[in-house]
Structure 1
Amino acid sequence: MPIAPRPCDVTGRFLADGAPPTPPPIKSPDDWAPYRNRVEFETAEFLYTRNQMSAGDINILLDLWAATLLKYNDKPPLRTTVICIKLLTLRQWVMSNGNPSRSSTLGEARNQCTTLMDQSHDVWYRDPHEVIQNMLGNSGLRYRDGLSALPKTISEDPDTLGSTFVPSSVATGANDYYPLYVSIGNVRNNVRRAHRDASSSYRGARKRLKISEFRRQLFHSSVAKILENLRPGMTTPEVVRFGDGHYRRVIYGLGPILADYEEQVLLACIVRNCVRGMCMSHPDSLDTKSLCRRRDHTEALVEEATYGALWMEYGIVGDLVGTFKDHLVKWVGQYLQHVHGTKEAERIQADIDRRIAAVASFAGLRRFPEGRGFKQWTGDDSKALMKVYLPAIEGHVPTDVVRTFRAFLEFCYLVRRNIITESTLGQIQEALDRFHHYREIFESTGVVFTFSLPRQHSCSHYVLLIQLFGAPNGLCSSITETKHIKAVKEPWRRSSRYKALGQMLVTNQRLDKLAAAHIDFKNRGIQPNENSATVPVLFNADVTIQGDNEEGEIDNGPTLVQAHVQLAKTPQRKRAHTIPELSTELSIPNLYNVLRRFLFEQVYPDDQHPPSEIPLSRCPRFDGNIQVFNSASSTFYAPSDRSGIGGMRREHIHACPIWRNEAPRYDCVFVNTDASVEGMVGMDIARVMCFFSFTFNAVSYPCAVVRWFDKASDGPDQDTGMWIVTPSFDTDHSFSVGIIHIDSIYCAAHLIPVYGAQIISHDIKHHDSYDAFRAFYLNKFADHHAFEVAS
């Protein structure tokens, strides 16, 4: 059993349980050094970080600013861009991501390559040892206790007992400027995605070399050089101050690789289409279980075997000194052609595309107006398509194919959970076993002849890797894609484009120091604030990271509630102002009576009678004005999704007669109907037709007019794993309508039609989806939060 990490003092001696951390050095709350004052700092931050203004434009702006102050015999906060840059460069913050980049000339690789490559190559990098220590000391981060205990093999050493294990993940980016990223493994996904500097990057110039062996060797020699300062701390504990103020003894380790398959091949020195970076499976029999690959075994093979044997028999590149979509969707197309022939297969594929295009809009869910018929797939394309693909093929393919997709999707969502327990590990293995069982239909029908595929085989290692390194939530190559924009693309655009690498690195250093300075000022209680009474018109540099309403937003606030819904800030003046007017607008004749029964429930919450049985004579009357809103925002705890530091995420629920000048949009929601039970058993699904508010007896009531759905059964569909719902109707065959308090809304829900085996009309658009069909899957694959709620 791993020993939990313990705080210690600066000398490494463990503290008693509950002992407070050593207080940090006291700094003056008015100390803005090296800036003269707050205005100077915020001006520099605005010009360099927010506006990203060029040096020439900064000088022009400051000259104009100075001209307006001449009559007051005053000066602007910064005199020239040179002063601004100097201030940023001189500041050596403890929380910054390392010291200025170092340059190292690598000549070691030359002896192992041809004379054509007999030249030196510069590699720019930051010391990862200092970078990781700065990450650990960043008070803006949160760390997961579950990932801090040492693995058993290390914790058995008495010299390392009680130390904190810091698994560091490495990633790359294949570009002309070849970046190498590092991230610490005991940081939550919501920290990574809230831009709290939980990952950093080193950049090296990659030349387009003609000899691949030399390029590989240069890469591995560079990585070895960059990581060499971490090596001592992998066996001997170091004392490091963490963001919570405590010192801890730390052991470093290289953990999961944040890279796609092609880059894993490069990092692990293995042959492409062979997964031996992790295990000893032969490329022709990846379906069989095998031993894990070990470094000492690999080194012994390199020492004894020939180059050809290493390559062919073991999948190892022996001359180096080393440090979904592609299958399942393709198989469906091959199955349709194999069974139905080319012409009929094309007709079915066209209908699948129309089904995908007809899926209703949902926050954060990408739409495919033309189906899946784009020319070049990216990783984001694949992830987005798989959220809507399963219902689109159901009815056109056998049940086993549907269950194959279900098992694979459930596996993907389970391994991305924020917290993984022993029970979750069992579910992951069970989903993987189902995937292996049901995919046999592709082989039995002659669609494929082997499942010996590296990408699918790698799934079998997840349970072990999770046990070794913890929940992989957030450990994916998309993190480096996001970081690549900030670390490479944006600095490149700000450079002169000539010998830009050095300019890019300086830009990144200054941005890091500005961000670190901001955290330091915040910790000392002098954070810039938009509500400041002393400095007018200053921005809040810790604002919520916002996106388009269609994509949802990160909420960087603390975890306060599981879910909260509030109406939009501004009512719609051109919409109804009374209940009779709203009744006409929504074509709901009995809306006034529905409102009266709603008021009875609010005024007499202890009455046990169903609303439909309450005589109208007992129900309160309301004849006042109302305010109508086109949307409401739902803020909820969703740490497995793209969320803020507290795991909170915000999405918008729309109920408007015209959306983006195209068509009406009325979203669906989860409604809490029984708080005593968890999951879908205590939830109902409704479609919001309108948001409105009114005041009755001095009490404000924010409400929603909804159309109800009924659950088709007491559990999810056995084939797709999704609940099926149908519109609810009253005895007169009209839609069952209700008015609910918005406090009963949990969050938005996404429905996809049950298409069946019928070919759908070409005229059906995505905004027709909820009206054109009479049965729907509750899409639990829309995002990770929906998967938790609707499973």
Structure 2
Amino acid sequence: MKGLPLLITNPDFADEFDVAPYREYDPLLNRQYTNLMSGNWAWKQAVRFCLNLGRCVIDELYQDVIVAEDLETHGAMYCPLILGSDKTTVSVATGQNEYHPVYMSLGNVWNNVRRAHRNAIVIIAFLSIPKTEKRYANDSRFRLFRRQLFHASLSEIVNTLRPFMLKPDITRCPDGHFRRVIYGLGPYIADYMEQIVVAAIVQNWCVTCPTRRQNLQDFCEGLDVRTREHAKSLARVCNRKHLWDTYGIINDIIPFSDDLPHADIHELMAGDLLHQVIKGCFKEHLVDWVFAYIILEHGETVGHGIWGQIDRRLAAVPTFPGLRPFHQGRDFKQWTGDDSKGLMKIFLPAVVNFIPPDMTRAIKYFMEFCYLVRRSIQTEDTVARITHCLERYHHYRQIFVTTGVRPEGFSSLPLQHSAFHYPHHIRQFGAPNGLCSSITESKHIKAVKEPWRRSNKYNPLAQMLSTNQRTDKLAAARMDFTDRGMLEGSCLSDAMQAFLSLALGDDELDSDELEDGEFEEEQPNGNAIEDGGDPEDDGAVEGPKVLGDVSLAKRPERAYPRTLPELGTCFGVPHLPSLVASFLYDQTHNEPLPDGSPTPPCPPLQHLNVYHSAAATFYAPSDISGIGGMRRERIRATPSWFNGPARYDCVFAENDSTVEGFRGLHAARVQTFFSFECGGVEYPCALIHWYSPVADEPDELTGLWVVEPDFDTDNRPFYGVIHLDSILRLAHLIPVFGDAVIPPDFQQSQSLDAFKTYYVNKYADHHAHEIAF
């Protein structure tokens, strides 16, 4: 298999590569599930072979496993091969150019590497797509041939590694060490339509458990799992029709995994967050069911008018990094996975006033399930909460039956049933977001669509294969050169070092300027994280793990006064000097100023500067983040955003660090950023408008905290000055629309000024969900 050496020898994975299964525990000794090798399935394989766990291993979970008698496998490294396949179309205009790529990754590589597409996934084959005339398209013999060709092709692909699934192969690993490696078939990544082909299961049946198709709507916990031995036993005593109708098994197909040792394709079917949960259960089910309910309840004319209001509410949601704008509501011609994820973030506040309470609760619990199951670090506590959310969702979704939206129930919806298997998937394979089909969907662009565009479109497959081989080899070469230090510095730095060596001699070189033969070149843009640069894009950043840091923009704004009184007048806050004086008192004294005491006079300040943005960098491994799980976002406070209306973002400000969740935070809206020097100390600050919760608990119906802007006794905004260290990150506030009718000309920029109360949107991203849960 040509792509395997490019993966297993890649030095870029040296620090993010597991050589043995492990069990991970948090400080409270609760089991954690993260990468594939932290799950029970990898541990079971190691026990079976005694791989890296010693010769005599007794495991409390798998005491029935017979330890391999072959001494050659003892102490070897187990390397599970993660396969994934999915059809894609490269011709947008005609839609006739289809390809069926097969991808491969290593289970030893960490999930964050696989999700970041750092050459952790390679394309290994293109499967043939049989064509026939229309009159034969639905012929049972043609469908059988198509399935058999699929499994025969996969069997031929993986059989090249079959000898090394029983006997170790000596291989160089990413850390540079040579190890004896046992390969095995790992989890398979595919959407539901691909899963039923891979597992040889009848459509509308579950590929993971033998639950009858008629019973898929029942809540099931601790389900039995399909096994290869059970399917073979049934095939010996049942005919083809009985297997099809009673067990959902296609007896005419031999799964490709049957040729491989210790590989059961039913056991290896991983959950698919993108197609099962996001695009399936949420977009294709819940959103469409809500639309159907509104039409049934109010009729076509009024129902479409209500959906028009919902679309305007979606369009009125304030901007936020990573949030796709819905300027036309949900009326998209073609939905993508990112569109479905974006709608999920803002859907509940937009529809809550138009649907029954139980329908709102059903959506709320499903959203909780979705955000919990997509976390990068899962614990037994998280799994218990996932199960609880499923139970409540299963209870409240009956509203769709009683209102006539789903009078036939949910028995014909395997995607709804698949949600019950996620606790099992987490314990077996770790966090599901490391095995999601969104990883292979994203790989389509680099591995299929771009090579096709580069070809001359005449018999392009061979050209696409050559393009992929060359790009993979170039990527591997670059990693190897980087590991050897061949890409450090530049020709200019080497020439400068040689010149200085000849002119001054090695003994006279300044070690501060030239260290280890490197010449420090000028970086024109600087480091956006360290120096507070002001890039336009938010997103993943590279670097070590830091819980949180906020820094001002690199350059201050010039068109502002340089004294506090004038600056306060400019921003409509005439008591700004008093706010700064109170801020300085709190910064220089351990005890706060007593109530009723006069505010001390503001001392003289130097170097007063105003900024329109600040950069918040924080640890968010569940979101799109860098190698260390770090993410950056821009907090804006500008009177004109892209030559348009003003933009003043909201933030989470620390209130009580001893309390978890939103109870330990404040919501606030930034009016401006500024800095000054006082007593030889520089203070980076923010002028903010405070928001307070309207209750001591989140809203019972939506599960979201509700806040309102604070005003003083004269009905003026209640402002405050805080240090940047008190800001955690951006907060996303969505108006509590209530019965308001949004006019057609309402602008997104008006939302934070036009309403009295706001939801704190914990669905803005995974990090916001964790801190505002």
Of 188, 191, 200, 1:260 maps to 191
Residues 44-59 of structure 1: pairs in structure 2 closer than 5 A = none
The CA distance in 1 between the partners of 2:715 and 2:643, in whole Å, is 32
The aligned counterpart of 2:156 is 225
Question: Which amino acid is 2:480 matched to?
Answer: D
1:478 counterpart residue number: 438
Distance in 2 between the 1:681 and 1:530 partners?
Answer: 52
Between stretches 384-393 and 476-485, larger displacement belongs to 476-485
| Equivalent position SS for 1:533 | helix
Could you tell me which residue of structure 2 aligns to residue 134 of structure 1? 9
User: How many Å separate the matches in 2 of 1:153 and 1:745?
Assistant: 45
Deviation at residue 129 of structure 1 after TM alignment: 5.0
Distance 2:108 2:629 in 1: 15
Q: How far does the alpha carbon of each residue in 1:709-737 deviate from its partner, in whole angstroms, 9 at most, with x for none?
A: 10122222222121111111122211111
Segment of structure 1 superposing worse, 263-272 or 642-651: 263-272
1:623 to partner: Cα distance: 5.2
Amino acid at match of 1:558: P
Q: CA RMSD in A?
A: 2.9
Alignment partner of 1:570 is 2:560: no
Distance 1:765 1:189 in 2: 40
| Counterparts of 1:272 and 1:544, CA distance in 2 | 51
CA-CA distance at 1:407 after TM superposition: 0.8
| Aligned position for 2:494 | 534
Query: Could you tell me whether the CA contact under 8 Å between 2:210 and 2:226 is conserved in 1?
Result: yes
Match of 1:394, SS? helix
Partner of residue 683, structure 1: 665
1:474–1:774 CA distance, 2 compared to 1 (3 A): farther
Hey, what does 2:638 align to over in structure 1? 656
Q: In the TM superposition, what whole-angstrom CA distance separates every residue of 1:620-650 from its partner, at most 9, and x where no partner exists?
A: 3335452222111111100011111101011
Matched with 1:497 is: 457
Residues 253/759 of structure 1: CA separation in 2 closer, same or farther (3 Å cut): farther
Conserved 8 A contact 1:127-1:226: no
Once the two structures are TM-superposed, the CA of residue 383 in structure 1 deviates from its matched residue by: 1.4
Residues 310 and 316 in structure 1, CA contact (< 8 A), matched pair in contact too: yes
Q: Which residue of 2 aligns with 1:318?
A: 251
Counterpart residue type for residue 359 of structure 1: V
**Separation in structure 2 between the aligned mates of residue 625 and residue 133 of structure 1, nearest angstrom:** 55
Question: Cα–Cα, structure 1 residues 779 and 762, in superposed 2: closer, same or farther, change >3 Å?
Answer: same
Q: Do the aligned partners of 1:694 and 1:702 also contact (CA within 8 Å) in 2?
A: yes
- What is the one-letter code of the residue matched to 2:109? V
- Aligned position for 2:139: none
Matched residue, 1:780 = 762
Aligned counterparts of 1:754 and 1:703: Cα–Cα separation in 2: 30
Query: Which residue identity does 1:467 align to in structure 2?
Result: R
Alignment CA distance shift 1:751-1:511 (3 Å): same
Is the Cα–Cα contact under 8 Å of residues 627 and 694 in structure 1 kept in the other structure? yes
Q: Which amino acid aligns with 1:283?
A: R
Q: What SS class does the counterpart of residue 689 from structure 1 fall into?
A: strand
Length, aligned pairs only: 659
Alpha-carbon shift at residue 774 of structure 1 (Å): 1.2
Residue matched to 2:409: 450
What is the CA deviation profile of residues 594-623 of structure 1, one whole-angstrom value per residue up to 9, with x for unaligned ones? Answer: 122212222x2313326x75523x243335
**Could you tell me which residue of structure 2 aligns to residue 95 of structure 1?**
none
State how far apart, in whole Å, the 2-side matches of 1:308 and 1:548 are.
66
Rounded to whole Å, the distance in 1 between the matches of 2:252 and 2:534 is: 50
SS at match of 2:646: strand
2:544 to 554, 558, 563: 558
Q: Percent identity?
A: 46
> Aligned match of 2:589 in 602, 605, 609?
605
Q: Is the 8 A contact 2:11 2:175 kept in 1?
A: no
Residue identity opposite 1:213 in structure 2: L
Pairing 1:188–2:188 present: no
Is 1:358–1:766's contact at 8 Å kept on the other side of the alignment? yes
- The counterpart of 2:714, out of the listed 729, 732, 746, is 732
Give 1:578 shift.
3.3
Name the residue aligned to 2:422.
Answer: 462
User: C-alpha deviations, 1:24-53, integer Å up to 9, x for none?
Assistant: xxxxxxxxxxxxxxxxxxxxxxxxxxxxxx
Question: Which residue does 2:85 correspond to in 1?
Answer: 172
Task: State the AA in 2 paired with 1:591.
Answer: L
* Matching residue of 1:198: 120
Residue range with higher mean Cα deviation, 575-584 or 399-408 = 575-584
In the superposition, relative to structure 1, how do residues 538 and 293 fare at CA in structure 2: closer, same or farther (>3 Å)?
farther
- Report the more deviating stretch, 201-210 or 237-246: 237-246
Give runs of aligned pairs for residues 758-769 of structure 1, distance below 5 A. Answer: 758-769=740-751
Question: 2:283·2:340 contact (CA, 8 Å) conserved in 1?
Answer: yes
Matched, 1:363 2:321: yes
Partner Cα separation in structure 1 for residue 612 and residue 215 of structure 2: 57
- AA matched with 1:566: S
- Do the aligned partners of 1:127 and 1:229 also contact (CA within 8 Å) in 2? no
Once the two structures are overlaid, the 10-residue window that deviates more, 680-689 or 521-530, is 521-530
Q: CA deviation at 1:141?
A: 3.4
- SS class of match (2:742): coil
Aligned equivalents of 2:361 and 2:11: distance in 1? 43
2:209–2:225 Cα contact (<8 Å) kept: yes
Q: Residue 205 of structure 1 contacts residue 501 of structure 1 at CA under 8 Å; is this kept in 2?
A: no
Q: Does 1:431 align with 2:393?
A: no
What secondary structure does 1:746 align onto?
A: strand
Tell me how far apart the structure 1 counterparts of residues 372 and 495 of structure 2 sit (CA, whole Å).
Answer: 49
Point out where structure 2 has 5 or more consecutive residues left out of the alignment.
24-35, 54-75, 89-97, 133-141, 257-281, 497-520
State the distance in 1 between where 2:495 and 2:470 align. Answer: 24
Deviations 1:668-718 (A, max 9, x none): 111112222322222111111111222222222211111111012222222
CA contact (8 A) 1:142 1:187 kept: yes
- AA aligned to 1:280 is P
- How far apart, in 1, do the equivalents of 2:112 and 2:749 lie? 32
Structure 1's 583 and 495: CA in aligned 2 closer, same or farther, altered over 3 A? same
Secondary structure of the equivalent of 2:114?
Answer: helix
Aligned partner of residue 360 in structure 1, secondary structure: coil
Secondary structure of the structure 1 residue equivalent to 2:699: coil
Query: Counterpart of 1:198 in 2: which secondary structure?
Result: coil
Alignment of 1:364-379 (within 5 A): 364-379=322-337
Provide Cα deviations, 1:153-178, integer angstroms capped at 9, x if missing partner.
44444644616554433222313332
Equivalents in 1 of 2:522, 2:716: separation in Å?
A: 55
For residues 303 and 131 of structure 1, the distance between their equivalents in structure 2, rounded to whole angstroms, comes to 43
Task: Output aligned runs, 1:515-526, within 5 Å.
Answer: 515-526=475-486
**Aligned-residue offset at 1:487:** 1.1
Measured in 2, the distance between the counterparts of 1:207 and 1:416 equals: 33
Residues 298-342 of structure 1: CA distance to partner in whole angstroms, max 9, x if unpaired?
A: 234445544444433333333333222111011111211222222
Give yes or no for contact 1:665–1:767 (8 Å, CA) kept in 2: yes
2:330 equivalent to 1:330: no
Alpha-carbon contact 2:123-2:468 (below 8 Å) kept: no
Q: Which of 131, 134, 140 does residue 209 from structure 1 map onto?
A: 131
Separation in structure 1 between the aligned mates of residue 535 and residue 748 of structure 2, nearest angstrom: 18
Amino acid at match of 1:346: H
| 378-387 or 213-222: bigger deviation | 213-222
1:155–1:522 Cα change, 3 Å: closer
Q: 1:136 to 1:166 in 2, by over 3 A?
A: farther
The 10-residue stretch of structure 1 (730-739 or 625-634) with the greater mean CA deviation from structure 2: 625-634
* AA at the equivalent of 2:768: A
Q: How many Å apart are 1:451 and its aligned residue?
A: 1.3
Q: Which moved more, 1:308-317 or 1:639-648?
A: 308-317
Q: Is the 8 A contact 1:668 1:685 kept in 2?
A: yes
- Partner residue of 1:712? 694
Report SS of the residue matched to 1:293. Answer: coil
Matched residue type, 2:591:
D
Match of 1:47 in 2: none
d(CA) in 2 for partners of 1:677 and 1:532?
54
CA distance in 2, matches of 1:788, 1:189: 19
Instruction: Tell me the equivalent position of 1:412.
Output: 370
Query: TM-score, normalised to structure 2's length?
Result: 0.79
